[in-house]
Amino acid sequence: MSTDRTDHRLAIVGAGVMGTNIAALAVGHGVPVVLVDIADDVLAAARKTISRKLRHAQLMGSLPTDRPQGELVTSRSLRDVADATTVIEAVPELSATKAEVLTEVSRTVRPGTVLISNTSCIPVDEMAAWVARPDELVGVHFMNPAYLITMVEIIRGSGTSDPTMEAVTVLLTALGRKGLVVRDAPGFVINRLLHPLINSAAMLVADGVASVEVVDGLLEGCLGHSTGPLRTADLIGIDNLVDSLNVLYERTGDERCRPCDLMLEKVKEGSLGRKSGRGFYDYDRGV
């Protein structure tokens, strides 16, 4: 199976934080991308965001220098994913939204097209009920920012076929990524560990035990975290975290996953993290 980037035609559905991250990664590695979302203003903003992320990736030396960038096409129609060799779903972590998108994409693409969900917490086997060919569905959890972090989490559902796993490996190789495979479960490995940690960190701030800066500083200085949990929350998006925590809580009953009041308050007031300019920290929206 070829790893030539010209063999790949990638479609990404969802032009939010992760959709634009993955698009920047792919375009920067010479893979053409069709990016689909529901509104022209969202897609216009996404183009600017992807350009900024590509500049950041180039400055960090994380993109190959021996190839031209892939073409980026934006669209409001899911019909434009029909010719893709792989489709990545990167919409919010809401079951109804993912079900609608994956059902329509599965009806649109040809048999043999790999369907990847960038799911944070929803199990692949749960999503398999929404697609026509469950053997072609797999989870790939890209980290944020996807254009800098080279490791990904691959979630194999009970019905995911060997050819699908092989095709995913080929695509990730073309994107300069390495993956570790985990069995399907709510939250998988990364978010089953990370999201309750972030929630607990926010509770410590709410209880007055320590400030945001102190909580992050201790995790960074004592445990070697490159980014503290609350700064990580701002990077992910606090609204996205609340959605994922709700998924985990509903499916596991783990009280550590019930979103704490401080997280819910921040979502209610629109303090969502970097993307809104304010979360646990304040940010310059122009950066």
pLDDT at 4 over 60: no
Matching fold, domains 5-183 and 190-275: no
Q: What is the CATH number of domain 5-183?
A: 3.40.50.720
Q: Which tokens in the block code for residue 242?
A: 């609340």
Cα–Cα distance between 154 and 176 in angstroms, integer? 15
Q: What is the pLDDT of residue 287?
A: 38
Question: What was the pLDDT predicted at 25?
Answer: 98
What residue spans define the domains of the chain? 5-183, 190-275
The strand pair at 86-89 and 178-183 is best described as unpaired
Q: Which residue pairs, CB below 8 angstroms and at least 24 apart, start in 253-256?
A: 254/196, 256/196, 256/199, 256/200
Residue type, 149: I
Can you give the pLDDT at residue 285? 57
Rounded Cα gap, residues 62 and 210, in angstroms = 36
- Assign 284 a pLDDT band (cuts: 50, 70, 90): confident
Q: Which residues touch 153 (CB under 8 Å, ≥6 apart)? A: 139, 140, 141, 143, 179, 180, 182, 188, 189, 190
**Alpha-carbon gap, residue 164 to 136, rounded angstroms:** 6
**Per-residue model confidence as pLDDT tens digits over 124-172:** 999 999 999 999 999 999 999 999 999 999 999 999 999 999 999 999 9
Q: Which of 8, 29, 56, 141 is catalytic?
A: 141
Q: Give ∠ CA 96-139-65 in degrees, rounded to 5.
A: 120
Q: What is the pLDDT of residue 286?
A: 43
Q: What is the pLDDT of residue 6?
A: 56
27-80 pLDDT, tens digit each: 999 999 999 999 999 999 999 999 999 999 999 999 999 889 999 999 999 999
Q: What is the pTM of this model?
A: 0.91
Q: Is 141 a catalytic residue?
A: yes
Secondary-structure class of domain 190-275 per CATH: mainly alpha
Give residues with Cβ within 8 angstroms of 110, minimum separation 6: 82
Statement: residue 5 has pLDDT above 70? no
